[in-house]
Amino acid sequence: MTEDLYDRAPGDDEFPGSRREETLAGLRTYLIGLALAVILTATSFWAASTSLLWAPGVPIGLAVLAIAQMGIHLVFFLHITTGPDNTNNVLALAFGVLIVALVVAGSLWIMANLTANVMPSSDLMNLQMQH
């Protein structure tokens, strides 16, 4: 019976009552996610444009709001939870985050080393300015 529940084509009316409730519950989840995403986006724009906040703290606040925004998208739109049926999704997400972190960290490391090794020394720059 449970296999039949998941093996339905769009438009099947085998379970007409539960299908409608399922659709309304999904719509409610998306609307809650949309409302939270809009609130976080508006808060980010406000934090970036106001002078009421402590200026050095604004980038940290924006980073926190961005992480919260990613969490909202993962839970409400991509439906990634920590339930037993979503273990593969969570592992795939963790692997993706690891790869992105490695690429960003490697890029920053390479750019820092290139900057340190390619930039002319201050003596050379002074010599060029004197001539």
| Side-chain half-sphere exposure of 123, counting CA atoms within 13 A | 0
Say if residue 75 is in the same domain as residue 102: no
Say if residue 35 is in the same domain as residue 61: yes
The rounded distance, in Å, linking the Cα atoms of 82 and 84 is 7
Mean pLDDT of 37-46: 97
User: Whole-prediction pTM value?
Assistant: 0.61
Asked whether residue 8 is assigned to any structural domain, the reply reads no
CB 91 within 8 A of CB 48: no
User: 93 lies in which domain range?
Assistant: 83-131
pLDDT in tens, 43-68: 999 999 998 989 999 999 999 999 99
Residue finishing a domain among 44, 60, 79? 79
Nearest residue to 10 via CA among 25, 22, 27: 22
- 3-class SS at 14? coil
Q: Which two tokens stand for residue 5?
A: 């529940």
Which letter, b or e, does each residue of 33-63 get, where b requires 16 or more Cβ atoms within 10 Å of its Cβ? Answer: beebbeebeeebeebeeeeeeeeeeeeeeee
pLDDT in tens, 14-23: 555 567 788 8
Confidence of residue 124 (pLDDT cuts 50, 70, 90): low
Say if residue 127 is in the same domain as residue 87: yes
More confident residue, 93 or 31: 31
Cα 64–chain centre separation: 11
- CA dist 119 to 12, 67, 86, Å? 67, 35, 49
pLDDT at 9: 44
- 3-class SS at 16? helix
